[in-house]
Amino acid sequence: MLSNLSLANSKRSLSTTTTRGMTAPLGATVTRDGVNFSVFSRKATAVEILFFDREDDAKPTDVIRIDPVTNRTYHYWHVFVPGIRAGQIYGYRFHGPFDPAAGMRFDPEKVLLDPYGRGVVVPKGYNRDAARGHGDSAATAMKSVVVDPTAYDWEGDMPLRRPSTQTIVYEMHVKGFTRNPNSGVGDKTRGTYRGLTEKIPYLQELGITAVELLPVFQFDAQDCPPGVVNYWGYQPVSFFAPHQAYSSCQDPLGPVDEFRDMVKALHRAGIEVILDVVFNHTTEGDLNGPTLCLRGVDNSAYYILEEDRSHYADYTGCGNTLNSNHPIVRRMIVDSLRYWVEVMHVDGFRFDLASILTRDSSGNMMANPPVLWDIESDPHLAGTKIIAEAWDAAGLYQVGSFVGDSWREWNGRFRDDVRSFLRGDDGYVRCFADRLLGSIEIYGHKGREAEQSINFITCHDGFTLNDLVSYNQKHNEANDDSNRDGADDNRSGNCGIEGATDDPEIEKLRNRQVKNFLTVTLMSLGLPMITMGDEVRRTQHGNNNAYCHDDESTWLDWSLLNKHSDVHRFVQLIIRRRLMRDVGPEQRRMTLAQWLDAGIKGWHGVKLNQPDWNTSSHSIALSVQVPSENLLVYFIFNAYWEPLDFEIPPLDQGGSWRRWIDTYLDSPQDIVAWETAPAVPSHTYRTGPRSVVVLWANL
């Protein structure tokens, strides 16, 4: 293909004023006199930079053709353009062979994003389809924005580096958190970074210490079936730019500054910011997908291709797979992480389908994947929380075996085994007991701290906690895929009726089960994560794959705060007590095995020291000593459908046990303030059906 754009038909040319520029840093680097542009492409034959006054301009105001002789060093194309300032809108055209059989898909008719662009603007007429076929895409293409990272006053802010032992993660969607009209946020800021900032007092009151934001890298909301939108954001198009639509300030630099304002405000409130990052694929999809960035820059370098190089390897279920262990892609990933830590001050990352990062350019699993060790050993990332979703869509499952010493893992087995036990399934008492204690059978061999395990029951992907106890089956009909999408293995239970009900007994049981799940999550050894709205029983009406709904079915309904105030209070009090734990520097370094040796006093059944490990068992009790607090704690977990009387360990010197939690009791007796817990007068405790009890006593 030949470009139909050239210097001759641009409004004016800056080529006579440009200089050679530098290879590094990659991207657009602002200096006092102008901007240095540098981009990698191994097989391009010509590269042009296009400058625009507005994002929806059909033609550039200036075009600079980067000289392939004087302005190319190795595979880096670079030029310095004087007079350019932050806020300038730009894009690239790459010339080269269009030869899919050889893995090359250059298309100079397409205006491309800078792979290192720090900002993105989206024209009102953005059209994903226009980037698929023939024709000039300038008027409808996303475009990059020159950003000066130094032009911001952080007022002394830095990443918090909060100890993992003092961390409670709240997984949330930036837009969905405040988009509902009943959020109390102003019309202009609902669903934005600023809207989230306005709701920080709610997060503080709840007690969480870290927000884990669903993807905020610029993504393509049109990457979805017709009639719906991509709401979750797992279709990235830029790894450096915050998503423009989440900003209430739609000028080119607005999203960058508004994101930083949000981070700074969260830090002032003592709350860390963890980003859900997608380095496994992009929104460019399969061979029929659009050319927006990497496909047109250097297709065979950035993506894993099949033996038939016109096809993309798909280990993600999204049409393509990033070639993450290629040197240039490794560099881009690490540079992106550094940028978000050093420039945007985020505190950590959760890596979507992280097991893909262990695959080589042929898709085979590597024992020591270079990109993971690059992340692990990078001094700029030391102290940053890095969390792996340790599986992929093509069968890799590495929970308990993910590489590295600093990686934490979403513990999918915690989710599944706790769901099964509390539902009343046979054969899960041993697994449940292990999950309570940091999953030592999974992680004990690593000699790592308990917080390697991210303990969660729900996340964005799957049922909400309310729906987990309200539906036996998924109900994804609104996704227009005949209810075929989404997981079939949910391990859920509707408590007697499918869906919403006014039956008071069923509602009481559901409320109890919700509190059981929250107690187990927040009191187990490990790093707990809860999902936005679970503290007020948010529902998606049985949809366990609501990725394509940007409406009140997925937004947080703030009226639930009054309707389910007892659950909200329950979460508050558990978190408050968990964060009271006296965890000093030495204890933070204790391995999981050391924690267990120091604290576990014994397992019990209804009789002391007689745990029932049989397949038919649905209950277990555990006594724990906390020497640093001169404390004994007794946990009773009854997933049986009848009440059970549990013996309570005798105490020396006439002490008494106190009841902190009993989920069978109505609020406010289901949980009380720790220091006001009433005494238990008996040597046994009747534990209601499907309930959790927590007692404590001073040593």
Structure tokens that stand for 129 in this block: 């389809």
Which residues lie below 8 Å from residue 9, measured CB to CB, with a gap of 6+? 59
CA distance 302 to 325: 10
What average pLDDT does the segment 456-466 reach?
98
> Is 673 inside any structural domain?
yes
pLDDT at 629: 87
Per the DSSP assignment, residues forming a β-bridge with 242 are 217
> Is 22 inside any structural domain?
yes
522 and 447 in a common domain: yes
pLDDT at 587: 58
627 and 574 in a common domain: no
CB 197, CB 220: distance < 8 Å: no
654 and 505 in a common domain: no
What average pLDDT does the segment 288-313 reach?
98
pLDDT at 546: 97
pLDDT tens for each residue of 379-412: 999 999 999 999 999 999 999 999 988 999 999 9
259 and 116 in a common domain: no
Q: Which of 522, 545, 578 is the last residue of a domain?
A: 578
Dihedral of the alpha carbons of 359, 364, 367, 373, in degrees to the nearest 10: -20
CB 530, CB 521: distance < 8 Å: yes
Structure tokens that stand for 517 in this block: 């799940």
Name the percent of the chain lying above pLDDT 70. 96
Per-residue H/E/C for 523-564:
HCECEEEEECCHHHCCCCCCCCCCCCCCCCCCCCCCCHHHHC
pLDDT at 48: 98
Structure tokens that stand for 192 in this block: 């934005």
Would residue 188 be called left, alpha or beta, if left means φ above 0 and alpha means ψ between -120 and 50 degrees?
Answer: alpha
Q: Which of 145, 174, 200 is the last residue of a domain?
A: 145
Domain carrying residue 223: 164-282+347-578
What average pLDDT does the segment 68-93 reach?
97
Structure tokens that stand for 573 in this block: 């009090």
The domain total for the chain is 3
What is the pairing mode between strands 76-82 and 644-647? unpaired
pLDDT at 2: 28
> Is 36 inside any structural domain?
yes
607 and 529 in a common domain: no
547 and 454 in a common domain: yes
610 and 562 in a common domain: no
Q: What is the CATH number of the domain that holds 103?
A: 2.60.40.10
pLDDT tens for each residue of 329-361: 999 999 999 999 999 999 999 999 999 999 999
Determine which of 36-45, 113-122, 310-319, 437-446 has the lowest per-residue pLDDT on average: 437-446
Q: What is the CATH number of the domain that holds 630?
A: 2.60.40.1180
The average confidence (pLDDT) of the chain is 94
> Is 458 inside any structural domain?
yes
> Is 533 inside any structural domain?
yes
> Is 141 inside any structural domain?
yes
209 and 68 in a common domain: no
> Is 278 inside any structural domain?
yes
- Residue 241 has a CB neighbour count (10 Å cut-off) of 27
b/e for 197-206, b at 16 or more Cβ within 10 A? bbbbebbeeb
Per the DSSP assignment, residues forming a β-bridge with 397 are 391
Catalytic center residues: 352, 389
464 and 355 in a common domain: yes
pLDDT tens for each residue of 234-258: 999 999 999 999 999 989 999 999 9
Structure tokens that stand for 323 in this block: 């070639």
pLDDT at 7: 33
| DSSP string over 4-59 | S--GGGSSB--TTT-B---S-SSEEEE-SSEEEEEEE-SS-SEEEEEEESSTT-SS
Determine which of 58-67, 128-137, 580-589 has the lowest per-residue pLDDT on average: 580-589
Q: Which of 145, 172, 197 is the last residue of a domain?
A: 145
pLDDT at 446: 82
CA distance 658 to 312: 61
CB 688, CB 516: distance < 8 Å: no
> Is 317 inside any structural domain?
no
CA distance 227 to 216: 23
87 and 25 in a common domain: yes
Strand, helix or coil at 604? strand
612 and 555 in a common domain: no
CA distance 104 to 480: 35
Whether 536 has a pLDDT exceeding 80, the answer reads yes
pLDDT tens for each residue of 601-641: 899 999 999 999 999 999 999 999 988 888 999 999 999 99
Q: What is the CATH number of the domain that holds 421?
A: 3.20.20.80
pLDDT at 14: 47
Strand, helix or coil at 444? helix
542 and 469 in a common domain: yes
Helix H segments across 437-527? 440-443, 465-468, 504-523
pLDDT tens for each residue of 553-573: 999 999 999 999 999 999 999
